[in-house]
Amino acid sequence: MAYLILVRHGQSEWNVVGKWTGLTDVALTDEGRAEARRAAKMLEDIDLHKAYTSKLKRVVHTLDEIVLHLNRRDLDRTEHEALNERDYGELTGKNKWQVKEEHGEEQFMKWRRSWDHPVPGGETLKDVSKRVVPYYEEHILQDLKAGKNVIIAAHGNSLRALMKYLESVADDAAHTVEIATGEVVVYEIDNSGALLKKEIRLTNTNKV
């Protein structure tokens, strides 16, 4: 058995102002770094063996804060673009709430949370899943089957795609899969790669 830990990056500069960030490489806020440290406190009982992140600095810096708190600067780390955030295309940089006002709730939610409703010039969650899941199966799953505890620090949509896959969530229920900034989800995975248990250890409303 091994642990698979999913952590969404802490609050970013564009999270604060409500912009669709996507592949824009924005930094964490001070609160975002604090969220990462709170996440780390939830993992003090797990001996981490491997870490995976996207190539975007808000995620890399989130993991930096976690390994500093856990005194694990030696942790084996891999960065890969397969774990990058969803490309929001023409929505990138736009204020979410202004878009909602201009286009209405129904269209807004289709762009934001649906499985395969197209975004102009960007990716759907289905597209994100097509790169996240194969990377998980080809690389991360092998570590888990070998009994290694793995942490993935990534983004709202790359983690949503993986959670949907791990929990066998139907396509038409994809909108129900959520992970907030700084949130910690811990899965127990057996030696065959099957999901045994899910535990949410921290949401961004917890202050510790």
Q: Active site includes 106?
A: no
Q: Is residue 108 part of a domain?
A: yes
In the predicted structure, residue 206 carries a pLDDT above the cut 60: no
Taking the model in full, what pTM does it have? 0.95
Range of the domain at 170: 2-183
Could you tell me which residues are beta bridge partners of residue 185? Answer: 6, 200
Residue among 85, 123, 155, 183 flagged as catalytic: 85
Query: The domain that contains 150 carries what CATH number?
Result: 3.40.50.1240
Has 80 been annotated as catalytic?
no
Whether residue 130 is predicted with pLDDT greater than 50 in this model: the reply is yes
| 104 is a domain residue | yes
* pLDDT digits 0-9 by tens, 39-87: 999 999 999 999 999 999 999 999 999 999 999 999 999 999 999 999 9
Region 18-44 average pLDDT: 97
Tokens 């129904």 belong to residue: 106
Structural domains in the chain (count): 1
Q: Is residue 166 part of a domain?
A: yes
Asked whether 145 and 138 are in contact (CB, 8 A), the reply is no
In whole angstroms, what is the distance from residue 204 CA to residue 149 CA?
23
153, 197, 202 from 167: Cα distances, Å:
18, 10, 19
- Phi, psi torsion values for 141, nearest 5 degrees: -60, -35
Instruction: Measure CA 154 to chain center.
Output: 4
How does pLDDT run across 91-117, given as a tens digit for each residue?
999 999 999 999 999 999 999 999 999
Give residue 37's Cα distance to chain centre. 16
Kindly state whether residue 196 falls inside one of the protein's structural domains.
no
pLDDT greater than 80 at residue 203: no
